[in-house]
Amino acid sequence: MTERVREIMSILASESISVDHEKRKRIYFTVKPEQIRSICQRLSSENLRLSTMTAVESLRRFELIYHFSDDRTGYYFCPRVYTGLENPEVPSISNEIVGASWIEREIHDLFGVAFHGHPDLKPLLKEDNENIPELPLRVKRREEHVD
């Protein structure tokens, strides 16, 4: 682990964030939704590049992974945020990182996650396209699975 990676890890430790798992050059850690904006801002100010965000729907909760690339060391720092399955919502980071705007619009479009504070959360892919079903990447509604 290089000096720079240790530096970034100490930033996370100062916010009392513990690492979920670390493998080769991938570091995954969980943060609370109310922390995500400040953490992303800290990582961005350390010249980490937001590569993209991944939304994952599991049985009991909804998960968002932010992939930050440290291009100097080749490390990926990935904060995760968990939110409820019904009406998932997290704070938007588009005002801090302009590049997140399209990513949040797409996740809102395909998964229905509300990003609070996004300047213009209009559909990215589905606008005026009635051929794409409602929230296409969500698992089918739970009630249909129950019976």
Partner 1 sequence: MSTDFNLPVGPFHPLLEEAEFFKIKLEGEVVADIEMETGWMHRGIEKISEQGTFDQSIFAVERICGICSASHPFACVNAFEDIDDTDVPVRARYVRTMVGELERIHSHLLWLGLAGHFIGYDTLWMWAWKYREPVLDIIEKTTGNRNHYAMFRIGGVRRDYDNSLSAELNEKLDYVERKLTMVAKAAMDDPVLKSRLSGVGVLSKEAAINYCAVGPTARASGIAIDVRKDEPYAAYDLVEFDVVVQEAGDVFAKTVVRILEIFESIKIIRQCIKALAKVSGSILNDVESIPAGEGIGRHEAPRGEVFHYIRTDGSNRPVRHKIRAPSYVNIPTYKASCVGENLADVLITLAAVDPCYCCTERSVRLQDDHGKELTESLLKRSQDRTDELIRELGEYKAWRYL
* Residues found near partner 1 in the complex (CB under 8 A): 23-26, 28, 47, 49-52, 54, 56, 65, 67, 69, 71-74, 76, 78, 97-102, 123-127, 129, 132, 136-137
Least spacing, CB of residue 47 vs partner 1, in Å: 8
- Residue placing its CB nearer to partner 1 in the complex, 25 or 42: 25
Q: How many CB atoms are closer than 10 A to CB 75?
A: 22
- Residue placing its CB nearer to partner 1 in the complex, 14 or 55: 55
Quote the CA–CA distance of 114 and 104 in Å, as a whole number: 9
- Residue placing its CB nearer to partner 1 in the complex, 12 or 75: 75
**Closest to 28 in 3D by CA, of 71, 72, 63, 73:** 63
Quote the CA–CA distance of 125 and 128 in Å, as a whole number: 9
